[in-house]
């Protein structure tokens, strides 16, 4: 490297630890290896098949798509409109503006940029642990974060009181980042009563909720997974919702997201919308089309929507069943039974995570997060025994 190179001034960045697992697992030649890493649904053969409703919609697009011309910075308006009742329900108390984004990450990034532009000294109240990309985006944008403990990993306990205390001490105008359902990485969600209490506090303190809803339909069901966060949005003056179809439509690599801004006032929302469009333009100009077009084609068709709901429900049931089986097979993991979605945060140290990988070929995030969908009815006992051995510090 020559010191005159512009790149010489950069600091080296560690590879993303979660995404590195994809390659590490692929390179492992052991036959019984188990992949509990990145959050994708898997069937009992360990495969992540394209959903049948998606294949059907892709066929329709292949035969009938008239043009590939640009759609504009907002992306596919039909997609955005058809998702609205699924996300917000039929009775929306606010004016709503949406843009299509490249995945949930694009939506989170745009939301945080908007908040920073609106209020340069804005603070974000964030539960720990959270999805690592949340804090990385906030740090990169120079947004001050105020952390509270969302989940006690050792005790496997949701930190509801900690969150309420953090919100109680918040300043009016602070933002709060909340996972709508299927908390990533812990799987520990608030009950409807707890969401109602959060909503009351958000209203009383004048806080701005940023809801990350990336797993709708994979926890308790499409409606159930949205019910709590809807209370919070309804109670707030303004709000933002980052959505992802990557998981509930199985469209991962197509990067299918959306950002919705909500305000009680139409003029204020117009102001937000013009800024969101401008930010989208400078970030990616126009979002990728295919995945959103697939979702739109599905939601435009009653038959395909029914099929999608059934396929999503089958995925949900499979993951919930594995969760119950694991909670039953390992007494130390009994709290998992009351949690939701793809993830669970196991009470493991980084060294124990490494032991499971090196000695047993079991791959999970360094934090101890597992993707339950990577388990199968046949490998679950192998996993349970390896986990227990590791917990007791027995030689592998």
Taking the C-alpha atoms of residue 236 and residue 209, their distance in angstroms, rounded to an integer, is: 7
Size of residue set near ligand LMR by CB under 6 A: 5
Taking the C-alpha atoms of residue 59 and residue 108, their distance in angstroms, rounded to an integer, is: 31
Q: Per CB under 6 A, does 287 bind ligand LMR? A: no
Note whether 203 and 235 are within 8 A (CB): yes
Nearest to 266 by CA among 293, 234, 290, 238: 238
Q: Which is closer to ligand LMR, CB of 367 or CB of 379?
A: 367
Q: Per CB under 6 A, does 184 bind ligand LMR? A: yes
Q: Which is closer to ligand LMR, CB of 56 or CB of 108?
A: 108
Taking the C-alpha atoms of residue 201 and residue 191, their distance in angstroms, rounded to an integer, is: 15
131 catalytic? Reply is yes
247 catalytic? Reply is yes
Q: Which is closer to ligand LMR, CB of 131 or CB of 363?
A: 131
Q: Which is closer to ligand LMR, CB of 156 or CB of 367?
A: 367
Binding mask 141-180 for ligand LMR (x = CB under 6 A): ----------------------------------------
Residues 121-140 within binding reach of ligand LMR (CB under 6 A): 131
Shortest Å distance, C-beta 274 to ligand LMR = 29
Q: Give the burial string for 35-52 (b: 16+ CB within 10 Å, else e).
A: bbbbbbbbeeeeeeeebe
User: 89 — alpha (psi -120 to 50), left (phi > 0) or beta?
Assistant: left
Helices (H), the chain: 17-27, 52-64, 77-88, 103-118, 132-140, 160-168, 192-205, 222-235, 266-283, 290-300, 302-329, 350-360, 380-391
246 catalytic? Reply is no
Q: Which is closer to ligand LMR, CB of 18 or CB of 276?
A: 18
C-alpha torsion 81→83→84→89, nearest 10: 140
Catalytic pick from 57, 76, 107, 131? 131
Nearest to 260 by CA among 242, 248, 276: 242
Q: Per CB under 6 A, does 38 bind ligand LMR? A: yes
Shortest Å distance, C-beta 38 to ligand LMR = 4
Shortest Å distance, C-beta 368 to ligand LMR = 14
Among 21, 25, 36, 39, binds ligand LMR (CB under 6 A): 39
Q: Which is closer to ligand LMR, CB of 97 or CB of 243?
A: 243
Shortest Å distance, C-beta 251 to ligand LMR = 13
Q: Burial-class residue 366 by CB neighbours within 10 Å (0-12, 13-18, 19+).
A: middle
Shortest Å distance, C-beta 234 to ligand LMR = 27
Q: Per CB under 6 A, does 374 bind ligand LMR? A: no
Taking the C-alpha atoms of residue 396 and residue 346, their distance in angstroms, rounded to an integer, is: 18
CA atoms within 13 A on the CB side of 20: 6
Q: Which is closer to ligand LMR, CB of 131 or CB of 195?
A: 131
Catalytic pick from 56, 214, 293, 344? 214
Q: Per CB under 6 A, does 320 bind ligand LMR? A: no
Nearest to 163 by CA among 181, 180, 184, 178: 178
Alpha-carbon distances of 376 from 43, 323, 334, 390, rounded to whole Å: 8, 11, 18, 20
- Which residue number has the CB closest to ligand LMR? 39
Shortest Å distance, C-beta 39 to ligand LMR = 3
Q: Per CB under 6 A, does 18 bind ligand LMR? A: yes
Shortest Å distance, C-beta 256 to ligand LMR = 13
Q: Burial-class residue 66 by CB neighbours within 10 Å (0-12, 13-18, 19+).
A: exposed
Interface with ligand LMR by CB under 6 A: which residues?
Answer: 18, 38-39, 131, 184
Q: Which residues are catalytic?
A: 131, 212, 214, 247
């Amino acid at each position: 490297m020559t010191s005159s190179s512009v790149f010489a001034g950069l600091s080296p960045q560690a590879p993303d630890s979660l995404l590195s697992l994809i390659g590490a697992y692929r390179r492992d030649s052991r036959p019984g290896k188990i992949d509990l890493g990145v959050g994708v649904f898997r069937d009992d053969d360990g495969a992540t098949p394209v959903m049948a409703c998606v294949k059907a919609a892709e066929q329709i697009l292949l035969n009938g798509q008239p043009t590939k011309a640009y759609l504009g910075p907002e992306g596919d308006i039909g997609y955005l409109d058809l998702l609205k009742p699924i996300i917000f329900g039929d009775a929306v108390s606010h004016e709503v503006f949406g843009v299509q984004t490249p995945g949930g990450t694009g939506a989170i990034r745009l939301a945080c940029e908007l908040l920073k532009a609106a209020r340069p000294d804005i603070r974000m109240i964030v539960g720990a642990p959270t999805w690592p990309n949340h804090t990385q985006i906030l740090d990169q944008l120079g947004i001050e974060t105020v952390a509270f403990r969302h989940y006690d990993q050792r005790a496997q306990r949701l930190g509801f009181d900690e969150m309420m205390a953090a919100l109680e001490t918040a300043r009016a105008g602070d933002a709060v980042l909340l996972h709508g359902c299927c908390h990533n990485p812990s799987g520990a969600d608030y009950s409807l009563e707890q969401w109602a209490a959060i909503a009351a506090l958000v209203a009383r303190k004048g806080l701005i909720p940023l809801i990350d809803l990336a797993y709708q339909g994979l926890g308790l069901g499409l409606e159930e997974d949205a019910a709590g966060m809807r209370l919070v949005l309804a109670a707030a003056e303004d709000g933002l919702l980052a959505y992802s179809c990557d998981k509930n439509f199985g469209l991962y690599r197509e990067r299918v997201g959306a950002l919705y801004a909500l305000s009680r006032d139409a003029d204020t929302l117009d102001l937000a919308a013009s800024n969101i469009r401008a930010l989208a333009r400078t970030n990616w100009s126009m979002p990728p089309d295919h995945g959103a077009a697939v979702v739109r084609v599905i939601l435009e068709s009653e038959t395909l929507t029914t099929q999608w709901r059934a396929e999503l429900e089958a995925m949900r049931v499979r993951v919930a069943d594995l969760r119950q089986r694991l909670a039953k097979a390992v007494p130390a993991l009994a709290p998992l039974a009351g949690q939701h979605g793809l993830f669970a945060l196991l009470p493991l140290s980084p060294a124990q995570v490494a032991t499971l990988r090196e000695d047993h070929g079991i791959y999970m995030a360094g934090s101890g997060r597992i993707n339950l969908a990577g388990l199968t009815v046949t490998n679950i006992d192998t996993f349970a025994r390896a986990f227990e051995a590791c917990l007791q510090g027995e030689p592998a």
